[in-house]
Amino acid sequence: MLFALSSSVEIGALLSVWTSKLYYRMSSSCRPCAALCQLNVTADKQANLCAAQGLLEEAKQRGACMAFLPEAFDYIGSSREETLALSETLAGHTMMRYTQMARKLDIWLSLGGFHERGSDWEAEQRIYNCHVVINNHGEIVSTYRKCHLFDVELPEKGVSLNESTFTVPGPSLVAPVQTPIGKLGLGVCYDLRFPEFSLALQKSGAEILTFPSAFTVTTGAAHWEVLLRARAIENQCYVLAAAQVGRHHDRRSSYGHSLAVDPWGTVAADCGGERAGVALVEVDLAQIRSLRRNMPLHEHRRDAAFYASLEGGRRVK
């Protein structure tokens, strides 16, 4: 559309507006953007993959350089037998499709909770709950196998899950991995409940903690947000937690509410508890540095021997 300007003042004003908008876009783009992808999966692996692909395409279109999928992003089986039968290795079809997607979309992926066949699969028929990070070239750059397994019986709350009946606990934590949004410490779901786990990752350099999850509705309503905010506050980290939502089969439903929490403990993004979707958050690493400088918890913490002084000995009065 053509239009006339009556004076140099109007020209100057228009240029000022354009310059301000351009500066805003440039300054905003300096902060990397992460996407939390909330899923409602079933035992239909192909349908789950198609749903995830749609969310990842949306995340990329909206400017994310890294996207996070929840625990059990590949499927949730309705029985131990079905869960084991659907499992794969990291060299299988499912992971191949995700490496292709990462490369095609030019995006990093955090795949939180892949049903990976164990190292002695033929003899034991057990799996790992494996968190996989893929770079934008389609390369697997880190894997963490969940080490705290959810074996919980809460009959009064209607919660009964025994992950250890088909899952092998991971042998160790893994070092935080450098990503486009910052240094990422990998966990999975139930790991969230163990503060020493998060602290170990933070001490190893993590700027962001991630807990892809499939929390039950009961435990999610009671503990999900407060745990995520606590881990962010006490470690002065971002916490990113993609989650499953809704009914998966007749006996299992998930709470949803994929959350991003900033280092001050503020909820920066929430996918809600009703349906699948994408929520974006800008990661401000300068906020982490500023907070850790102004409130240096890491300097105020006593050494490990101090906190262990009550173990196996008399309490000093």
* Residues classed as catalytic: 71, 146, 189
C-beta neighbour count of 181 within 10 angstroms: 24
Half-sphere exposure of 33 (CA within 13 A, CB side): 17
Of the candidates 38, 255, 259, 241, the residue with the CA atom closest to the CA atom of residue 157: 255
Q: How far apart are CA 107 and CA 86, in angstroms?
A: 27
Q: Which DSSP string do the residues of 193-223 spell out, in sequence order?
A: G-HHHHHHHHHTT-SEEE--B--BHHHIIII
**For residue 59, what are the contacts with CB-CB under 8 A and spacing of at least 6?**
35, 37, 67, 107, 278, 280
**DSSP 3-state of 246:** strand
* Contact (CB, 8 A) for 93 and 46: no
**For residue 268, what are the contacts with CB-CB under 8 A and spacing of at least 6?**
260, 261, 262, 281
